[in-house]
Chain A
Amino acid sequence: AQKVTQAQTEISVVEKEDVTLDCVYETRDTTYYLFWYKQPPSGELVFLIRRNSFDEQNEISGRYSWNFQKSTSSFNFTITASQVVDSAVYFCALSETSTDSWGKLQFGAGTQVVVTP
């Protein structure tokens, strides 16, 4: 069963618009970690953020912000004032801490963000 759901396949925005990417996860672990990665057209996977299940404080890094809500099992990502360079596929991932997990990342299907000038 899919443990990370990114329901938005593609989002198209015009430069300077804000864009929010949804991520819903499913786990029975009480301790777990959530991640966001960016995959630009060049293909590499770039780490953006890591969050543990006990830290529900929202985080802001420049134009990026993350909203973690344990009550709804969501870890959403917002890009403020989008730029063309933000065009990429964004992946949400879950790392569970049960014995056989050992840090393996379980990725969502990804959301393609297209920012046009």
Chain B
Amino acid sequence: DSGVTQTPKHLITATGQRVTLRCSPRSGDLSVYWYQQSLDQGLQFLIQYYNGEERAKGNILERFSAQQFPDLHSELNLSSLELGDSALYFCASSGDNPYNEQFFGPGTRLTVL
């Protein structure tokens, strides 16, 4: 158990819908990262927050957004969902140093029908 929690574990929804994925980092970790794992793209970095502020952005679509709240939990919002958004979404957290190892949550498997 990495100490990072993600909910829900599975999510099945329809095209055009909007969903919210939630992540709670390890106790004391200030950085939260979101990654997407799909068969065609592999593991891709989406976005990073540090203590509530966005620090780095990767291949995140404009239909996707995220935020980190004062209690350090983070949410990833996916809207106008398309079939191609079906993937495993991971959240990871690390401590003060952004180059420390990242500990990953169990992931949320999103299926868009």
Contact = CB atoms under 8 A, between A and B. Distances in A.
Given A43-B88, A110-B42, A104 B101 contact: no
A100 B92 CA distance: 18
A95 interface: yes
Contact of B50 (A46, A102, A105): A102
Contacts of A46: 2, 104
B64 to A, nearest CB: 16
A102 B97 CA distance: 9
Nearest to A31: B99
Given A43-B106, A50-B101, A95-B99, A103 B48 contact: yes
A55 to B, nearest CB: 13
Given A43-B88, A102-B50, A104-B45, A33 B99 contact: yes
Contacts of B100: 50, 103
A106 B99 contact: no
A11 interface: no
Given A47-B103, A102-B50, A109 B98 contact: no
Nearest to A48: B101
Contacts of B55: 102
Contacts of A103: 31, 33, 48, 56, 94, 97-100, 102
Nearest to B57: A100
Interface string B23-40: 000000001010100000
Interface in B69-107: 88, 90, 92, 94, 97-107
B106 A44 contact: yes
A43 B106 CA distance: 7
B8 interface: no
Contacts of B43: 91, 105, 107, 110
Interface string A70-92: 00000000000000000000010
Contact of B102 (A47, A108, A110): A47
A106 B97 CA distance: 17
A35 interface: yes
Interface of B: 2, 31, 33, 35, 42-45, 48, 50, 55-56, 58, 88, 90, 92, 94, 97-107, 109
